[in-house]
A and B are shown apart, each in its own frame.
Chain A
Amino acid sequence: MWRLERIELDNFRSYRGRHVVEFGGVNVVWGRIGAGKTSLLYAVEFALFGRQLEVKERVAKLMDLINTEAQEMKVAVTLKKDGDVLRIERRLSRRGAEKVMLVHNGVELRGREAEERLKELLHIDEDVYERLIYISHRTLEGFIYGTTQRRALSVDRLFGIDIIDGVVKTLTSLEKELLKQAEELRRRLSAYEKYKDVMRRYGGYGGVVSRLETVKKEIETLKERERRLAEEAEELAKRRTAYLTKLKEGETLLMEYYRAKSELELLESAADGEEIDVTVLEKIREALREALEEYEHMLPHQLVERLESARDLETLSAAMAETYDALVKLSKDIESQISDTKKLYDLYVAKVKKIEEEIGDAEAKLRRLEKQYLRFKELQKSFQSLEAARSALAEHRRKLAEVEKAVSFSSAVRTVALYIAETGLERCPICSAPVSREAAAAVAKEVEAKFGDLIREVEALREKVRELERAVEEMETLSGDVAEYLATKTRLEELQLEREENVKKALQAEKALRQLEKRAERLRLLLSRIDRRTISEAVSKYARSLKARDLRRRLKELEAQLKNAGLTDEALTAEVRWREVAEELEKTSNRLAELYREKTMLEEVTREVGGDADLLKKRLDNVLYAYSRLQEVKAKLELVKVNARAKLLETAKARFNETFLALYKYGDIVRVNADLEQRRGYYDFYAVTPTGDRYGISKLSDGQRLSIALALALALRDIAKTDVGFIMFDEPIPYVDVNIRNAFVELVKTLSAQYQIVVATQSRDFADMLKQAVPSAKFFTVTKKESSEIKEVA
């Protein structure tokens, strides 16, 4: 394992200049508080890791490692392991430059390469070093004297579980911060509730902020205005002193002058700078009169008379208002008529449309039936009518029956005779009597001669009857279609008449509608120019104009009187301005006071609330949620801690007992062990005597506890498989009784067989005890005046 051979310091912490320390197997470093013992030990950690515990824990900054008088420092540590030599050199300057150089058996490495090789060679990280190589009283005292809780913390530190406590502590501080934030947000929300009316008035928090900005700007503007007015008022007051006596003498006139002037100004400002046109009223009256004339047949007659006869403003105003109301009513009536007429027009148009559809249907039907109708007509030409055809048929049938009756036998004989003659039969097919062809032909000829005409008549009648039968049948079939054709034709004619009538009515309605719309439009145009307000404004403007005319006349009179009283135009102008400025100044001051009050209130609201309610609620929700997450993490980390304790204890148990027995050789304890308390998860250390009795840690002596603590540290160190072969005890057991010191000295003696030991202490007695126990130990004294100095004492 690597052992410390040599430390070289250049301007490191309290060591100004260069200092070199050569180490032995056991090294005792003695010096008073603040002399520089710990700095020496820190130098080793800095050399190995480029940092040290105080810097890591932010107790000190890296720059604090440079001596206050220097700009740069250097630490070099030489380590040896069997034949290997390792030299680590680190430099740090106030400009922040850090350099590392490693020489291993003559091979030089720098920077990242050097750091990586160093880790490979030593098998240790900073955390393990701080827990198991550099052992201070923080670790041992807590174990020996502490409560169960404090002992647990010491063991946690050895195990590296104290990290959880560190993390939990930070979590707790952030939890507190979150609770503070939540409280603050609740306060703001309650303030929001308190200022709810203000928020509503300004349209929410955004509105309040925006209004505050506006108020601030307005205040600045008004302050400037107030300053200017104050200057002007001062100037005018000076000028006023020259004619103050005359002002007092003409006070009554002056007061009337001011009143008239002020009244006139008011009238003029009401006119908003525009010249009052007195003809406006007359124009309105004329327009109303024209409208009355146009619609006289629809309006009461007396309206025109009233409008004509009005001689004063009041009567005229009433007559104009009445006329206006009548015209508005008329406009509504016309609108209503338009609506009715439009409905009527739509009705006729719809009717025409419907009739046209029916006409279309009828025409289609006629076209469909036309062929049948024409055929019927054709038949009619031949047979006049169906009835006539039927009677003719009956007549012909009767005739045919009569003729057929007369000629039937002859016709049959003739037929049989012709058959025999043609076929050459030898016997009659009816009576089977013998017959010859010639006789048969003679009979046929005879019958033909006697009844030939009658037979032909029968045939002609038969033909006629067939013809009549076909005609009657066809006419009967067609008669339905013909009747429908004729009815449809009549209906078509009716529809055409009806259509004509409705088209006429629709046109009339359309015409009426156009006329009404024209009237309504004209009326609307008039009413868009004139309404009650324009009438009332025109009347009041007219009245103001009359009043202003009177006031101007009076002012001229008063000015002349004041001039006679010795008050010139200039004096009057200055006096008027002075009064104006004074009045304006008062107004500005009042407004400023109002704005200051508003500003104070708004500032209070923004300070107290600081955000919109929704935003504040959302932030509060976030904070509370985050708080709950942190609590959960914290609770689980506590569980992790207990589990890790159990696991590490299990891992360390065997080695721990073994190490303890190697250190503690008195025989009254044959075994040590540790379990975890079920209730709180603390460590429960105990020792077992040769008789098998079990003693808890509280029943053990201080020396036995010290042995247990060191055994645990060494066991863990072995488990960590580090290749560092030295242990540094920095003031390991201050303020302890002599028994513990003795025990510690004995332990060092035992440990020195396996490890290189460095013990730094401020107690000379303790240092001497160590030296006596291990005579080969090197003894160093550390002193400090301007700079720390270290010397080996022989």
Chain B
Amino acid sequence: MDILIEEVRKVFGNTDEGRLAERLISAYRAGGPSAVKAVLVEYLKTLGVDVEAGED
């Protein structure tokens, strides 16, 4: 079991933020900061906030 993901589940519990944190970690592993940003931009959209998904 992935220790980071396991700790995320412990700290966040079964929440939307917990699922977001898991996605952020997976995204970072797969695509670095830009992938994380893409996930966050999408999450912020669900909160009604538009942030440009440009390069850092």
Which residues of A are at the interface with B, using a C-beta cutoff of 8 A? 56-58, 126-127, 160-161, 163-164, 166-167, 169-171, 173-174, 177-178, 181, 618-619, 622-623, 625-626, 629-630, 632-633, 636-637, 639-640, 643-644, 647-648, 651
Number of A-B contacts (CB under 8 A): 96
Q: Is the interface of A mostly helix, strand, loop or mixed?
A: helix
**Given A626-B44, A644-B4, A169-B33 contact (CB < 8 Å):** yes
Shortest CB distance B24–A (Å)? 5
Taking CB atoms, residues of chain B closer than 8 Å to A651 are 3
Contact of A171 with B40 at beta-carbon distance under 8 Å, contacts A178-B51, A640-B8 already known: yes
Given A57-B32, A170-B40, 20 new contacts (CB under 8 A): A58-B33, A58-B34, A127-B29, A161-B4, A163-B28, A164-B4, A166-B33, A167-B24, A167-B28, A170-B33, A171-B36, A178-B49, A619-B48, A622-B49, A633-B17, A636-B12, A636-B17, A636-B21, A640-B8, A640-B12
Using A57-B32, A57-B33, A626-B44 as known contacts, say yes or no to A167 and B7 having CB atoms under 8 A apart.
Answer: no
| A173 cross-chain contacts in B, Cβ below 8 A | 37, 56
Docked pose: A651 CA to B37 CA in angstroms: 31
Nearest CB on A from B25, distance (A): 6
A636→B21 CA distance, assembly (Å): 9
Q: Given that A58-B34, A167-B25, A625-B47 are known contacts, is A640 also in contact with B7, CB under 8 Å in the complex?
A: yes
A629/B40 contact (C-beta < 8 A), A56-B32, A167-B25, A636-B11 known: no
The CA-CA distance from A363 to B41 in the complex, in Å, is 93
Chain A residues with Cβ below 8 Å from B4 are 160-161, 163-164, 640, 644
- Interface pairs (14), CB distance under 8 Å: A161-B4, A163-B25, A163-B28, A164-B25, A174-B44, A178-B44, A181-B49, A622-B49, A626-B44, A632-B17, A633-B21, A636-B17, A647-B7, A651-B3
Q: Which residues of B contact A164 (CB under 8 A)?
A: 4, 25
Q: Are B51 and A174 in contact (CB under 8 A)?
A: yes
State in angstroms the CA–CA spacing of A622 and B32 once bound together.
27
A651–B7 Cα distance when bound, in Å, is 14
Set B3, B8, B36, B40: member contacting A166, Cβ < 8 A: B36
Q: Is the CB of B49 within 8 A of A626?
A: yes
Residues of B within 8 A of A178 (CB): 44, 49, 51
Closest to B48 in A: A622
* A163 CA to B17 CA, complexed, in Å: 17
Q: How far is the CA of A647 from the CA of B10 in the complex (A)?
A: 12
Q: Closest CB of chain B to A102's CB: distance in Å?
A: 22
How far, in Å, is A636 (CB) from chain B's closest CB?
5
A629 and B47 contact, Cβ closer than 8 Å, known pairs A167-B24, A636-B17, A636-B21: yes
A178-B51, A626-B47 are known contacts. Are A639 and B28 too (CB-CB below 8 A)? Answer: no
Q: Tell me the complex Cα distance, A626–B55, Å.
A: 21
Residues from chain A with Cβ under 8 Å of B55 in the complex = 58
Cβ of B40 to closest chain A Cβ, rounded Å: 5
The CA-CA distance from A173 to B55 in the complex, in Å, is 12
Contact of A163 with B29 in the complex, beta carbons under 8 Å: yes
User: How near does chain A come to B52, taking the closest CB pair, in angstroms?
Assistant: 8
A173 to B44, CA, bound (A): 13
Residues from chain A with a CB closer than 8 A to the CB of B25 are 163-164, 167
Q: How far is the CA of A632 from the CA of B17 in the complex (A)?
A: 9
Q: Mark B9-53, 1 if CB is under 8 A from A, else 0.
A: 011100001001100110011011110110011001001110100
